[in-house]
Structure formats: C-alpha cells, structure tokens
Amino acid sequence: MADGSFIEAPSSTKNADKKRDPEMHSAKKGSNRHFGMKMHIGVDKVTGIIHTVVTTPARLMFTM
C-alpha cells in the first residue's frame, strides 16, 4: 500500500539567500495549490509497518 502527502515549504523568497529552494515545486491537488515536496510512503498491508519513504518535488509522480 502507498500514500502520498505534501510537505509544505514557504514559497517566499524572503530568506537569507533571497531565493526559493530549487528542489521545491508547486502542484495542484483538487482546487488547492501546494508548494514544497511530496512524501511517498510504502506500508506493509498486513503489519502496517512503513518500509519505504521517498521524497520528490511536488509536481512529480512516483510509483512504488
């Protein structure tokens, strides 16, 4: 079983470097826009134990 969740990040450039993080991107889920990364979690169906965690930019899809 796999689940994908957004990890939100500030989209503002108001930080020390005056730049956005290049690994973060925006994506749309339903009618909501998100900026950050996606965390993909693989869970064993029987035991419920997490066996895999992978992060990707929010705009990319990942298949386990």
CA distance 27 to 44: 27
Overall pTM > 0.85:
no
| Coil vs helix vs strand at 37 | strand
CA distance 29 to 31: 6
Distances (CA, A) of 45 to 22, 38, 55, 60, 63: 35, 21, 21, 25, 17
Choose among 32, 12, 16: nearest CA to 24. Answer: 12
Taking only the tens place, the pLDDT of each residue in 7-55 is 777 766 766 777 777 777 777 777 877 788 888 888 898 999 999 888 8
